[in-house]
Amino acid sequence: MLSIAITGANGQLGQSFRATAPLFPGLELKYFNRTEFDVTNQTVVQEAMDFYRFDYLINCAAYTNVVGAESNIEAANLLNGVAVGYLAQAAQKNKTHLVQISTDYVFDGNKLEPYRPTDLTNPLNVYGQSKLLGEQLVAQYCDRFSVIRTSWVYSEYGSNFYTKIKSRADQGQTLWITDEYIGTPTYSPDLAEHILSGISKDNLPLGISHFAGKDVMTWFDLARKLLPGADIRVAPKETPPLLVNRPKNSALAR
Ligand SMILES: NC(=O)c1ccc[n+]([C@@H]2O[C@H](COP(=O)([O-])OP(=O)(O)OC[C@H]3O[C@@H](n4cnc5c(N)ncnc54)[C@H](OP(=O)(O)O)[C@@H]3O)[C@@H](O)[C@H]2O)c1
């Protein structure tokens, strides 16, 4: 039976793996939260990976606060970049296939079409830069890896766009949602299923690939799709200085 480690297991995607794993009885998943497996501690990473010698490690640990990263550059780079390098070195040593989750925010959004895996990266913000560093370190240290870029991840698990707008709508609030950005929203359990299916069939894409929802839309469109009965209106245009720069178009094509 293939053994698979999930790091950052209490986050949105980690919880989505827990919910999806029963569909794959042939895979043995082990879940590690931040206290059990701190990916920023190189000794912990090396010892855990030498001990368990997982077949796959799916890294769901990340610094995901895009606005917070702007003022916490070191913390974002450590978790999304340097720590991914620790995982990559230990994966290479133990012949563990590293699956690193990356982001649409590695792109600058100037393209008019959805981005393909081979398109040039040019992140606009610290979060995107730190995730790009993670991608580069995986490729530097590992011979066999999968970097899977995804975008606008939502679900009923953890804290995300859906859970945030639902809680405000449940309190009877009007939701003011921007229509200034377009992307490909991704249901988190679909991403978990894509990865586990690829592992179980031994056809998970190697190198850099994209996995995102099929429909291109704005945050406003997504809110209306997820909460059709709520009072949802287009937010006024943001005026500079913005808290963080985001790509106007970060839709992903496979
Ligand atoms: N959410 C999106 O819209 C989106 C879009 C594109 C790509 N992605 C990528 O998708 C992946 C999963 O995101 P998500 O939405 O599941 O994020 P999330 O809900 O914020 O989960 C991140 C997890 O990382 C854990 N963590 C933090 N520091 C850690 C450390 N030092 N060691 C181990 N774990 C640590 C957190 O633990 P605590 O629970 O203790 O804080 C949290 O459980 C990330 O790589 C993210 O960059 C997300």
Domain assignments of the chain as residue spans, ordered by start = 2-160+186-213
Residue 240 has pLDDT above 90, yes or no: no
**Ligand 1 atom closest to Cα of 191?**
10
Residue 239 has pLDDT above 90, yes or no: no
SS3 category, 115 = strand
- Under the banding of pLDDT at 50, 70 and 90, the label for residue 71 is very high
Pocket test for ligand 1, best of 31, 37, 44, 60 (most atoms within 8 A of CB): 60
- Under the banding of pLDDT at 50, 70 and 90, the label for residue 47 is very high
Nearest CA to ligand 1 atom 21: 11
pLDDT of residue 241: 80
Instruction: Please state, as a whole number, how many other Cβ atoms lie within 10 Å of the Cβ of residue 228.
Output: 8
C-alpha 136 chain-centroid distance: 16
For Cα atoms 166, 168, 172, give the angle at the middle one, nearest 5 degrees: 105
pTM for the predicted model, two decimal places: 0.97
Residues 75-133: pLDDT tens digits?
999 999 999 999 999 999 999 999 999 999 999 999 999 999 999 999 999 999 999 99
pLDDT of residue 242: 87
Phi, psi of 203 (to 5 degrees): -130, 30
Per the annotation, the verdict on 127 as an active-site residue is yes
SS3 category, 65 = coil
pLDDT of residue 89: 98
Cβ of 16 below 6 Å from ligand 1 = no
State which fold the 2-160+186-213 domain adopts.
Rossmann fold (3.40.50)
How close is the Cα of 99 to the center of ligand 1, in Å? 14
Pocket test for ligand 1, best of 10, 39, 64 (most atoms within 8 A of CB): 64
pLDDT of residue 80: 98
Q: Which of 83-97, 123-137, 148-162, 236-250 has the weakest average pLDDT?
A: 236-250
Cβ of 12 below 6 Å from ligand 1 = yes
pLDDT of residue 254: 87
Residue 246 has pLDDT above 90, yes or no: yes
pLDDT of residue 35: 96
